[in-house]
C-alpha cells in the first residue's frame, strides 16, 4: 500500500514537473497551468484523505486506485492539451512521455477495475496484461529516445 | 466504471490531439510570430486580400453596365461570376482567421483592440451583428479574449455577407430587371471589403503584440527564431 501511495504521488509529481519544464518560460500559460494542477493535486489529496479508511488493506487499494489513476491521467492529459492549444514546440521525448504513459495508465485503470470485478483469482492473467502494456510503453519510450528531434 | 470511462476519454483525447501535434509546424508558426516585421507583413496581406475583392468589384461593375444596356442574361452571368469569386475568397478568409486565432494564443500579450465598427457596414445583418458584438466586447475580461472574439465576429460577418451574396444572385436570376438584388450585391461587396480591412487591422495588432514579446524569456529553441524574412501565409504552406 505504501509503495502504491508513493507511485501515485510520483504520478502527480510527474505532471507538475512536466508542466513546470514546459511552461516555465511562458508566464501567461504557466499561471494557468499552476492554478489548474495545484487545484487538481489539492482536490485529489483531500479526496484520498477523506475516502481512505483508518486501516487500509488490499480491498481498499482496488476500490480507490482506479479513481486516483484517472485523476493522474487527467492531469497529464491537461498538460498535453495545453501544449497543443498554445503550440509549444516541446522536445519529442516530452511528447512521447505523455503520449505513451496516458494510454498505459488507462490500461492500468482497467486492470485494477477488473481485479475488483473478477477477484484476486484472476490476478495472474491480469498481471500479464499489465506487464505487456508496460513493456510496450517502455519500448515506445526507448524508440522515441533513440530518434533524433 | 466511472473512473475507467474517464481514463478512456482522457487517453482517447490525448492520443488524438497530441498524437497529431506536429512540432515542426509549431516551430514554423513561432518563426512567423517572432519575425515581427509588422508593417511589411500587414501591407502584403492588405494587397493580397484586395486582389480578390477588386476582381469581384470589377465583374460587378460590368454586370451593372450590362443591366443598364438591358443585357439581363449577361448581367446575371457576371453577377454569378462575382459571387463565386467572393465565395472562394470567403473560404480563404475563414482559414486565415483560424490561423490568426492560433497565433493569438501564442502571443504572450495582445495589445488592446477596438471592437469592429458597425457604422462602416451597409447590410442590416452585419450592422446588427457588429452592434451586438460591440456591446459584448466590453464585457470580456482580457485583451486576448477580446482579440479572439473580434476574429469570431469577423468570421461570422463573412458568413452573413456570403449568404447575402448568394441570396441576391438567386433573386437577380429570377427577376434580372429589378434593382434591389444588384443594390444588395453591391452592399455585400462593400461589407466584405470592410471586413477585410478589419481582418488586416487584427493582423497588424497581432504583429505588434509579437514584436512586444519578451524574447529573452523564451526557451533556447525559440529565442533564435524569427531572424529570417517573414512568410505572410505559413498556414498555406504547411496545410497544403
d(CA A64, CA A71): 11
Please name the residues between 108 and 137 in chain B that touch chain A, using a CB distance below 8 Å. 108-109
With an 8 Å Cβ cutoff, are A69 and B30 in contact? no
So what's the pLDDT on residue A119?
78
In chain A, residues with a C-beta closer than 8 Å to the C-beta of B3 are 66-67, 69-70, 109, 113
Q: Which of A25, A66, A86 is nearest residue B219 as measured by Cβ atoms?
A: A25
So what's the pLDDT on residue A138?
94
Residue A88 contacts B, CB cutoff 8 Å: yes
Give the position of cell 475507467: B4
* CA count, 13 A, side-chain hemisphere, B137: 24
Sign, CA torsion B206/B207/B211/B217? positive
Query: B149: part of which helix (H) or strand (E)?
Result: helix B143-174
Query: C-alpha angle with apex B157: B94 to B80, nearest 5 degrees?
Result: 80
Which pLDDT tens digit goes with each residue over B61-75? 998 888 888 788 888
Which pLDDT tens digit goes with each residue over B155-204? 999 999 999 999 999 998 888 888 889 999 999 999 999 999 998 888 88
User: pLDDT higher for A75 or B208?
Assistant: A75
Query: Mean pLDDT lowest for which of A4-18, A31-45, A77-91, A111-125?
Result: A31-45
* b/e map A52-84, b = 16+ CB within 10 Å: eeeeeeeeebbbbbbbbbbbbbbbbbbbbbbbb
So what's the pLDDT on residue B230?
45
d(CA B1, nearest CA chain A) in Å: 8
Q: Which ranges in A58-91 belong to alpha helices (H)? A: 58-85
pLDDT mean across residues, chain A: 82
CB pairs under 8 A between A and B: 95
Secondary structure percentages of chain A, helix, strand, coil, to 5: 85, 0, 15
B19, closest residue in chain A (CA to CA): A99
Which grid coordinates belong to A92?
Answer: 519529442
Q: Which of A27, A69, A95 is nearest residue B18 as measured by Cβ atoms?
A: A95
d(CA B155, CA B160): 9
Which portions of chain B are predicted below pLDDT 70? 32-39, 108-109, 211-240
Which grid coordinates belong to A23?
Answer: 511552461
So what's the pLDDT on residue B222?
59
B232 contacts B28 by C-beta, under 8 angstroms: no
Q: Which of B7, B15, B108 is nearest residue A109 as measured by Cβ atoms?
A: B7
Q: How many CB atoms lie within 10 A of CB A98?
A: 23
> Does residue B19 sit in helix, strand or coil?
helix
ipTM of the complex: 0.80
In chain A, residues with a C-beta closer than 8 Å to the C-beta of B219 are 25
Query: C-alpha angle with apex A106: A101 to A110, nearest 5 degrees?
Result: 145
Q: Which of B4, B11, B17 is nearest residue A81 as measured by Cβ atoms?
A: B17
* CA count, 13 A, side-chain hemisphere, A26: 24
d(CA B8, CA B88): 40
d(CA B34, nearest CA chain A) in Å: 13
Residue A28 contacts B, CB cutoff 8 Å: yes
So what's the pLDDT on residue B164?
94
The predicted model scores a pTM of 0.62
A105, closest residue in chain B (CA to CA): B7
In chain A, residues with a C-beta closer than 8 Å to the C-beta of B4 are 66, 70, 109-110, 113
With an 8 Å Cβ cutoff, are B15 and A99 in contact? yes
Give the residue among A106, A49, A96 at the shortest CA–CA distance from A72: A106
Residue B212 contacts A, CB cutoff 8 Å: no
Q: Which of B3, B13, B23 is nearest residue A89 as measured by Cβ atoms?
A: B23
Confidence of residue A89 (pLDDT cuts 50, 70, 90): confident
Maximum alpha-carbon separation in chain B: 75
Q: What is the mean pLDDT of residues A121-140?
A: 88
Residue A55 contacts B, CB cutoff 8 Å: no
Amino acid at each position: 500500500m505504501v509503495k502504491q501511495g508513493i507511485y501515485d504521488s510520483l504520478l502527480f509529481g510527474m505532471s507538475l514537473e512536466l508542466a513546470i519544464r514546459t511552461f516555465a518560460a511562458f508566464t501567461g500559460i504557466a499561471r494557468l497551468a499552476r492554478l489548474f494542477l495545484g487545484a487538481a493535486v489539492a482536490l485529489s489529496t483531500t479526496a484520498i484523505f477523506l475516502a481512505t479508511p483508518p486501516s487500509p488493506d488490499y480491498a481498499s487499494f482496488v476500490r480507490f486506485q482506479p479513481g486516483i489513476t484517472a485523476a493522474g491521467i487527467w492531469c497529464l492529459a491537461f498538460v498535453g492539451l495545453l501544449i497543443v492549444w498554445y503550440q509549444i514546440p516541446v522536445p519529442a521525448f516530452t511528447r512521447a512521455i505523455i503520449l505513451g504513459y496516458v494510454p498505459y495508465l488507462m490500461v492500468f485503470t482497467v486492470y485494477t477495475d477488473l481485479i475488483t470485478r473478477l477477484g484476486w483469482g484472476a490476478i495472474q492473467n491480469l498481471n500479464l496484461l499489465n506487464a505487456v502494456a508496460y513493456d510496450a510503453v517502455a519500448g515506445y519510450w526507448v524508440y522515441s529516445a533513440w530518434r533524433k528531434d | 466504471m466511472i473512473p475507467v470511462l474517464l481514463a478512456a476519454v482522457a487517453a482517447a483525447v490525448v492520443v488524438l490531439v497530441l498524437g497529431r501535434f506536429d512540432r515542426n509546424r509549431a516551430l514554423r508558426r513561432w518563426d512567423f510570430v517572432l519575425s515581427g516585421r509588422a508593417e511589411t507583413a500587414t501591407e502584403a496581406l492588405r494587397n493580397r486580400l484586395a486582389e480578390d475583392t477588386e476582381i469581384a468589384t470589377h465583374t460587378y461593375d460590368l454586370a451593372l453596365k450590362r443591366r443598364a444596356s438591358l443585357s439581363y442574361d449577361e448581367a446575371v452571368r457576371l453577377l454569378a461570376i462575382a459571387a463565386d469569386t467572393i465565395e472562394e475568397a470567403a473560404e480563404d478568409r475563414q482559414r486565415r482567421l483560424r490561423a490568426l486565432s492560433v497565433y493569438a494564443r501564442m502571443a504572450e500579450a495582445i495589445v488592446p483592440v477596438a471592437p469592429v465598427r458597425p457604422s462602416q457596414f451597409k447590410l442590416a445583418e452585419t450592422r446588427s451583428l457588429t452592434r451586438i458584438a460591440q456591446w459584448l466586447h466590453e464585457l470580456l475580461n482580457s485583451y486576448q479574449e477580446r482579440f479572439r472574439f473580434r476574429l469570431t465576429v469577423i468570421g461570422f460577418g463573412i458568413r452573413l455577407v456570403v449568404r447575402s451574396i448568394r441570396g441576391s444572385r438567386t433573386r437577380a436570376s429570377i427577376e434580372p430587371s429589378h434593382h434591389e438584388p444588384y443594390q444588395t450585391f453591391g452592399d455585400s461587396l462593400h461589407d466584405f471589403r470592410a471586413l477585410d480591412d478589419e481582418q488586416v487591422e487584427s493582423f497588424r495588432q497581432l504583429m505588434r503584440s509579437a514584436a512586444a514579446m519578451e524574447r529573452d524569456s523564451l526557451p533556447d529553441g525559440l529565442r533564435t527564431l524569427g531572424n529570417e524574412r517573414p512568410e505572410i501565409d505559413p498556414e498555406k504552406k504547411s496545410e497544403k
